[in-house]
């Protein structure tokens, strides 16, 4: 195995969420930069913390309706083709996007490209007229 292949996993599970759809304190639990290691516990649901986070939202939470989901999926396929990434799977949900991509690339750059291309596609399709990003900050980049 060459040294460049040893640096990269078989694939990445890259997930990103819509703005305002999973806040700290939520009943599903949440993760922050201190509790982000494999096997670590989620942050417990805390209604008071959720209320604070909800009040601090600068705009309403974003949902992906059918036209937005179609635009996002087309964007994922486009960026993977353009960058010669092997798209293994894509699933665009109403409040988040899952992708499994095999590539010899930095997952942080991949996440940024996916979100930017998805936003551009939604704008071009006329289903995202806002200047702000529809995405929450960050995202999950798991090595498979």
Residue 10 has pLDDT above 80, yes or no: yes
- How much is the pLDDT for 41? 66
For residue 18, which phi and psi values (nearest 5 degrees)?
-75, 150
pTM of the model: 0.83
Q: What strands lie across the sheet with 86-92, from one edge to the other?
A: 86-92, 96-102, 12-17, 140-143
CATH number of the domain where residue 98 is located: 3.30.70.1290
Residue 1 has pLDDT above 50, yes or no: no
CA 43, CA 80: separation in Å to the nearest integer?
A: 33
**Residue 134: Cβ within 10 Å count:** 23
Q: Contact, 50 vs 23, CB < 8 A? A: yes
Residue 6 has pLDDT above 70, yes or no: no
Residues spanned by the domain of 55: 22-60
Residues 127 and 72 in one domain: yes
- How much is the pLDDT for 76? 98
Residues 67 and 28 in one domain: no
- What value does the mean pLDDT take over residues 57-67? 95
CA 76, CA 107: separation in Å to the nearest integer?
A: 14
How does pLDDT run across 20-51, given as a tens digit for each residue?
887 666 666 666 666 666 666 667 767 776 67
Residues 92 and 130 in one domain: yes
How does pLDDT run across 64-104, given as a tens digit for each residue?
999 999 999 999 999 999 999 999 999 999 999 999 999 99
Closest to 107 measured CA to CA, from 9, 36, 12, 5: 12
Going by pLDDT thresholds of 50, 70 and 90, the confidence category of residue 52 is confident
CA 41, CA 30: separation in Å to the nearest integer?
A: 9
Residues 94 and 42 in one domain: no
- How much is the pLDDT for 46? 72
Residues 71 and 90 in one domain: yes
Q: Contact, 111 vs 139, CB < 8 A? A: yes
Query: DSSP state, 142?
Result: E
With helix as H, strand as E and coil as C, how does 75-131 read? HHHHHHHHCCCEEEEEEECCCEEEEEEECCCCHHHHHHHHHHHHHHHHHHCCCCCCC
- Please tell me the total count of domains within the chain: 2
- How much is the pLDDT for 23? 67
How does pLDDT run across 95-140, given as a tens digit for each residue?
999 999 999 999 999 999 999 999 999 999 999 999 999 999 999 9
């Amino acid at each position: 195995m060459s040294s460049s292949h040893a640096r990269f996993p078989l694939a990445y599970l890259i997930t990103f969420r819509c703005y305002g759809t999973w806040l700290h304190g939520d009943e599903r639990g949440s993760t922050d930069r201190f509790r982000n290691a494999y096997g670590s516990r989620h942050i417990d649901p805390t209604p008071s913390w959720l209320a604070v986070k909800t009040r601090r939202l600068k705009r309403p939470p974003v949902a992906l309706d059918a036209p937005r989901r179609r635009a996002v999926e087309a964007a994922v396929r486009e960026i993977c083709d353009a960058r010669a990434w092997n798209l293994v799977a894509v699933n665009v949900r109403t409040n988040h996007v899952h992708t499994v991509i095999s590539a010899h690339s930095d997952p942080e750059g991949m996440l940024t490209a996916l979100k930017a291309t998805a936003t551009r596609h939604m704008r071009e399709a006329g289903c995202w007229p806002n200047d702000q990003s529809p995405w929450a900050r960050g995202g999950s980049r798991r090595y498979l």
